[in-house]
Every structure is written in C-alpha cells, then in structure tokens.
C-alpha cells in the first residue's frame, strides 16, 4: 500500500483561481522520523514557520523512517527537505555504507541540534555495559533510521558482531514498549536528550543509560570522524541523576540539491529568524543558528543558505561550498 507522503511530499505548484489572476502555492514536505522522537515535533514547528512566514509556501511534516530514508526520499523527490544525522548525510552525499556506492543529490540547509546516543536498559536486567548485548534481544532502531545506522557503526567499532545478538529494529515508541514488556533487554536511541519515549518509560520503570568507557569512546571516535564524546546530563530522566558519558553527532537539515536558490534563501531566513518560536516546540532548537550551521555542517551548503549566511556577514569555509 502506498504511503500517503509519496503523494504529499512531491514539490509542486498549485494554481488557485483568485479573480482575474492565479496565485501560486508551493507545497513542501519535510521528512522527519517517528512520533516518539524529536524530529517529528521539530519538523512540525519548522512547517508552521515556513507556512506562516514565507509567502506562497505550504509546508507539512511527514512521519518517515528517519535519517537514511530521508536522504533517499529527498534524492528521489518524494520529499524536498529531510532531517538527518550528520554521519548519515556524509554517507548519502558520498554514496557510502548503506547507500551502496550511489551518491545522493543532497546539500545542507541548516544545522539542527546534536543527537546523543542513549543506550537504555531496565535496571532489573543487570546490564551495565554495551558489550553485554551479546546473546540478548535488543533494538538498534527502526530500519532506515539514523539510530540504526549509528548503533551499527558503534557496535562495529567496538568489535561486537551484528550477528551476536537478536535485533528487533523497532521505532522509539516500540522500543520503549518492548523494554516495558520485557521482550527486549536493551533499546538504542540516537536523539536529542529529553525524548518523550524514554521520559515516558522512566516514569513507570527504573531505567539505566549505559555509559561508554574512555577506551570504548576512543575506539568509536577513531572509526567515525563525525562523532564526538559528550555527556548526557543528569536529571533529564527519572533515576538518572549523574552525567553519563556517551557519543554525539549533529543533526543536519538537508534539501534537494536542485532546489531554487531564492526558495532556499527564503526558507533559511525564516527558519533562523523565527528560532524563538521553534524553541517553544523543543528547547534543542536553541542550537539551530547560522553560526552552528557553518561550524558543524557535515556536507556542503545549498547556495540559498550560503546567500543568507553571506548577507549576515558569516564567512563560508571552502569545504562547505557546493
């Protein structure tokens, strides 16, 4: 059965009769993720901003399989904007890993916020180290998601064979429910901290977020240049009162390479200049700034974004020029 976003997400012009002339409306679809993470509400906020502040634009956030799928959808034209983890953006742009040698026609439009890898187990499981997943039932995230991509990259870097455990590959909400029901022992999230599915799980069950040791972090960063060692702050989830060393990666808002420069300029301008509203949707939007876009973009920028950044007096490094 065809998913509704295949119809909704094509970028097209609809002409609505208005007296003696026709008004042009451009429809834009944003590929997000599941409803249990941050991508979907963040994308909904962006859609509201664009629909309200960019004349002639009607934007909508679509539920998708997240990062890997969003790169493929943008490349094929089934969406024009996608929310993507930085490592997945690099892989898609260069045709690496799950993109099987096929370079995808995407560029960076903006930096969103950093994702933190959050490896969750119930305290009663007794699991305290990610290397204990061998022989267990776990979820590394839904197929096509950046969580699954990152989880597999981290496990591979730690020499944990992907065949050494049973992987259910569930969405965020499904992973939380499976932990609650005892059908998996470990669930993996790559998401901004304070995600609703973990918050909900922690209200009813005692959880633990598995820390990475300095040795593990060193191995992972040696294998994945786009990752960084970061701390999950204590106090975000019930029962997790101290910082947890983990791995982070920046999220990128990508767009089709072929999008009109003036259109992307207007979208970028509206996004950055209405950040106060986006922060009301989720506080992680505080990271969505022109400065961070130049500092953390993992692939080259679209000419429309470059036009806006130059207008603001921000220098563009050579490696971010398309």
Per-residue pLDDT for 186 more than 90?
yes
Tell me which of 21 and 135 has the higher pLDDT.
Answer: 135
Give the number of C-alpha atoms closer than 13 A to the C-alpha of residue 87, restricted to the C-beta side. 28
Distance CA 221, CA 258 (A): 33
The pLDDT tens digits for 130-156 are 999 999 999 999 999 999 999 999 999
Nearest to 298 by CA among 90, 74, 103: 90
Q: Is 182 exposed, middle or buried (0-12, 13-18, 19+ CB in 10 A)?
A: exposed
Which segments of the chain are extended strands (E)?
Answer: 12-18, 21-31, 57-62, 81-85, 106-122, 137-139, 166-167, 186-191, 207-209, 228-232, 244-256
3-state secondary structure of 124: helix
Q: Do 4-112+252-320 and 115-249 show the same overall fold?
A: yes
Domain regions of the chain by residue span: 4-112+252-320, 115-249
What's the whole-number average pLDDT of the chain? 92
Assigned fold of 4-112+252-320: D-Maltodextrin-Binding Protein; domain 2 (3.40.190)
Per-residue pLDDT for 315 more than 60?
yes
Strands 244-256 and 137-139: unpaired
Per-residue pLDDT for 10 more than 60?
no
Distance CA 84, CA 70 (A): 7
pLDDT value for 277: 97
Per-residue pLDDT for 51 more than 60?
yes
The CATH number given to 115-249 is 3.40.190.10
Nearest to 200 by CA among 64, 31, 35: 35
């Amino acid at each position: 059965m065809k998913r509704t976003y295949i119809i909704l997400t094509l970028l097209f012009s609809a002409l609505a009769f208005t007296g003696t002339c026709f008004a042009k409306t451009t429809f834009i679809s944003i590929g997000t993720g599941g409803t249990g993470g941050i991508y979907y509400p963040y994308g909904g906020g962006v859609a509201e901003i664009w629909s309200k502040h960019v004349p002639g634009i009607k934007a909508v956030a679509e539920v998708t399989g997240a990062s890997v799928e969003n790169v493929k959808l943008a490349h094929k034209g089934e969406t024009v904007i996608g929310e993507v983890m930085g490592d997945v953006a690099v892989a898609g742009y260069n045709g690496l890993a799950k993109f099987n040698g096929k370079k995808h026609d995407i560029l960076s439009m903006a930096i969103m916020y950093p994702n933190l890898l959050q490896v969750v187990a119930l305290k009663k499981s007794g699991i305290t180290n990610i290397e204990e997943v061998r022989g267990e039932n776990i979820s590394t995230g839904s197929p096509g998601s950046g969580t699954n991509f990152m989880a597999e990259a981290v496990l591979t870097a730690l020499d944990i064979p992907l065949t050494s455990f049973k992987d259910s590959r569930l969405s965020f909400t499904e992973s939380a429910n499976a932990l609650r029901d005892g059908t998996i022992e470990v669930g993996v999230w790559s998401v901004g901290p304070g995600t609703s599915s973990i918050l909900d799980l922690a209200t009813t069950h005692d959880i633990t977020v598995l820390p990475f040791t300095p040795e593990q972090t060193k191995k992972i960063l040696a294998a994945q240049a786009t990752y960084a060692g970061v701390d999950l702050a204590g106090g975000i989830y019930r029962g997790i009162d101290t910082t947890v060393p983990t791995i982070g990666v920046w999220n990128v808002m990508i767009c089709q390479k072929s999008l009109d420069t003036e259109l992307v300029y207007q979208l970028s301008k509206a996004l950055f200049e209405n950040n106060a509203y986006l922060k009301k949707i989720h506080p992680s939007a505080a990271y969505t700034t022109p400065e961070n876009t130049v500092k953390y973009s993992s692939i080259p920028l679209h000419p429309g974004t470059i036009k806006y950044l130059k207008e603001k007096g921000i220098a563009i490094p050579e490696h971010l020029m398309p």
